[in-house]
Structure 1
Amino acid sequence: MTEKRKTIAILGSGRCGTSMIANSIRLLGVNLGKEFIVPDETNPKGFWENQNIVDIHKKIIMALGNQNTPYPRGWWNKAEIAAVKQDLKCYLEKEFGDSPLWGWKDPRTCQCIGLWKEVLKELDVEPYYLIVVRNPKDVVNSFQKAYKHTSGKWALERWIFLTLMALKETKDERRYIVDYDQFLANGFRTIKQLSSDFDIPISQKESTLKKQIQGIIEPNLQHQNSSMESLLTDKEINDTARRLYLTCYKACYSTEYFHSDEFKSQIENYFCSWFNERR
C-alpha cells in the first residue's frame, strides 16, 4: 500500500517566529517550494512564504475581505471562490505532486483552513498543523518595530484572531503547538519532538541537525522577550489576549492538556466570546 503524501501547514500570526520555524522544518526534508517572498529589512533571513500560495490567499481576501472576523460558513463553496480553489489545486499538483512531504507558511492560512481541508482531501494529501504562538506583548512590540506605522491595537487583535482561528479550525486534526520562546530555548528538541509526533524520520545525524538549527536561531532574539509578569501587568494587553496566551502556553508544555477536551472547550469559549462581541 502506497503511503499517503503529507503536508505541514505552519499556522500563527505574523511576528511569532513562523519564518524561523519554517526554515527549520526544511531540515526534516519538508519541501516548501521554489518561489518565495523576497527577504527585506523586516525579515532579513527570509519569510519562507511561497509566493504562489500567498497570491492565492490574497485573491481570497480581495473577494471576501480581511476583517478580523471569520468568513461565512461554507465560504469556500461560493461561486467567486471556485476559480481560486481550482488555481490552488493546480498549483499544488504541479509544484508538490511528486513530493511525499511538503508544506507551506503564510499567516493568512489561518483564515482559509476550510478551503485547505477541502483541497487536501481532494488531492488525497494528509495534513498536519504546526501552530506557533508568542507572548502577545512581544508580538505587538515586534510589529511596531518592523512596521513603524502599525497600530498596537491592530497587531494585538490580529494575533488574537489568527491564533483563535488556527486552534479552533484544527481541533480534530493532527497538530503540534510550540511557543516562540520555547523554540528559541531549544529548537532542536522541538524539531525532534515534531518529527516523532508527525511520524517524520530524521535522516541525518542528530548532532548535525542540532548545529543547523542553532545556526538558524539568532542569539540576540533571546534578549527581546517580555516576562510573563510584564504581560500580566501591561494595561495595553486586553484580558482576552492574556487568557488566550496563558492557555496556549500551558498547552505548549503539556501534551496531555493540549490534546484534552478541556483545552478544546476553553478555546471554543474564547472564540465564541471574542466574536460575539464583534457582531
Structure 2
Amino acid sequence: MPTSSTPLVLVSGSGRSGTSSLAGTLKRLGLHVPQPEVEASETNPRGFYEPQWVIDFHKRHLKELALFNIDSRPSAVDIVARHVESGVPTAELHEWLSGQLDGEHLRGEQVVVKDPHAFWFAQVWEVVSAEVGADLRWLTALRHPAEVVGSRDIAYLSSQSDELRLTKETSNVAGWVHAALLTEKAGRGSKRSFVKYVDLLADWRTALAPVQQQLELALDTDLSSSEHHSVDDFIEPSMRKSQLTWDDVRTPDWLRDMAEEVWRLLGALTTTPHDPDTLGALDRIHADYNARYADAVALTFDHTKAASTLAAREARDAQRATVQQLRRELARVRAAKETPVGGREAATILRRAVVRRVTRRS
C-alpha cells in the first residue's frame, strides 16, 4: 500500500468527447495507465488508453442493471445507488485498485484511469480511493453536444436506418445532457478540471496549463516550452472528424437550448471549476431536465404500454409456435416407429428437437 496519497486522475465524460485523446496525452506526459489497456479499433485507431479491467467492471455492472453509458433516464441514478448498496462494486474495485497501487514500480507515480462510464460509480471511486490511499482528481473532456451526437452516429449508427438514427439523435442529446450534469456533480468536493476537446487539439500546451495547476500534476515537460514533445506527434487538429452544428441535428428546440446552456456553463468551469453561481445554474437545469423527462414519460404512456403489450404477444406467439413444432416432430417420430414411444424416449426426442431448433435460430 502506498505510504502517501497517490494522485489518481479519473478521466470521464460522454463518449466521443475526446477522453481518449486526453488520457493518451497524459500518458505521454508521464502518467501511468494501469495495464492491460483496451486495444485500438477502427472507431479509435489511435487507442483508447482505458484499463481493460475498469472497462469490464463498469460495463458488467451497467449491463446487469440494463443501463446505457449515456442513459437519459433520471431513475438510472437511483438504480445504480441501490446496486452500490450491495457492496459488491465497492469490494471489487477495492481489490483491483489496491493491487494496482501496491507495488514498488508505482512509488511516486501519478495514475490516470479513463472510462466514460466512471461517473455512474462516482461514489464507489471516492470511497475506494480514500480506503487505498489514492487522491482522486476528476478530469472531464468537453465537446459540443452536436459534435458528440454526430460523432456517435458516424461511429456506431452508420449502418442503421434513417428513422432509427433520427430517433437516436434526440435520445443521444438527452443522454449527453444527463451524463454531463451527472459527471459535473460527481466531481464536486474534489480536485477537478475541465478541458475543451477543440482547445486540446488546437494547442495542447495551453489547454493543459490550467489542468496541471488545478489538479496539481507533475508533468514531464514545461508547458511553456515549445520544444518538440511526443504529444505533438499524437495530437493534431485532424482528429476532430465531426464538426457538426445544431443545423445538422434534429431534436426538440427546448432540448437543444438546454444542451447549449449546459455546454456554455461547463465551459465556464474550465477557468473556475467550483464557481458557485455556475453550479447553482446547473442544478436548476438538472431539476428542469428531470421534470421534463417525467412529462415525456407520462405523455408517451400509451405508446410504451402498447409496445410492451405487442412485445409480450410476440414472445407468446413464438413460444406457442415452438411448442407446436415440437409436437409435430414428436408425432412424426412416433408415427415412423413400429412400437409406441414411451415417456422417457419421448422426453429424449423433445430434448433433441429443442437443441436442433435452438441451433437453427442462433
Tell me the TM-score normalised to structure 1 length: 0.87
- In structure 1, the partner of 2:121 is 112
User: By how many angstroms is 1:185 displaced?
Assistant: 1.3
- In structure 1, the partner of 2:175 is 158
Match of 1:244 among 246, 255, 262: 262
User: Structure 1 stretch 70-79 or stretch 159-168: which is displaced more?
Assistant: 70-79
Please state if 1:169 is matched with 2:186.
yes
- In structure 2, the partner of 1:134 is 143
Please give the secondary structure, in 2, of the residue aligned with 1:71.
helix
Q: Provide the aligned C-alpha RMSD in A.
A: 2.4
Larger radius of gyration: 2
Please state if 1:75 is matched with 2:82.
yes
Aligned mates of 1:233, 1:40 — CA distance in 2: 26
Please give the secondary structure, in 2, of the residue aligned with 1:107.
coil
Identity fraction in percent: 20
Aligned mates of 1:276, 1:123 — CA distance in 2: 39
Aligned mates of 1:46, 1:233 — CA distance in 2: 28
Amino acid at match of 1:78: E
User: By how many angstroms is 1:234 displaced?
Assistant: 5.8
Amino acid at match of 1:179: K
Please give the secondary structure, in 2, of the residue aligned with 1:176.
strand
Unaligned runs of 5+ in 1: none
Matches within 5 A, 1:18-167: 18-66=19-67, 67-68=71-72, 69=74, 70-72=76-78, 74-75=81-82, 77-79=84-86, 82-98=87-103, 99=106, 100-147=109-156, 148=158, 149=160, 151-167=168-184
Please give the secondary structure, in 2, of the residue aligned with 1:8.
strand
Amino acid at match of 2:292: E
Amino acid at match of 2:231: I
Tell me the TM-score normalised to structure 2 length: 0.68
- In structure 2, the partner of 1:16 is 17
Q: Is this contact kept in 2: 1:76–1:115, CA < 8 A?
A: no
- In structure 2, the partner of 1:268 is 283
Deviations 1:44-64 (A, max 9, x none): 011111110111112221333
Q: Is this contact kept in 1: 2:14–2:116, CA < 8 A?
A: yes
Amino acid at match of 2:92: D
Q: Is this contact kept in 2: 1:188–1:209, CA < 8 A?
A: no
Unaligned runs of 5+ in 2: 295-362
Q: Is this contact kept in 2: 1:6–1:125, CA < 8 A?
A: yes
Deviations 1:59-86 (A, max 9, x none): 221333314334228436422xx23321
Q: Is this contact kept in 2: 1:232–1:242, CA < 8 A?
A: no
Aligned mates of 1:44, 1:203 — CA distance in 2: 25
| Residue-pair matches, total | 270
Q: Is this contact kept in 2: 1:168–1:267, CA < 8 A?
A: no
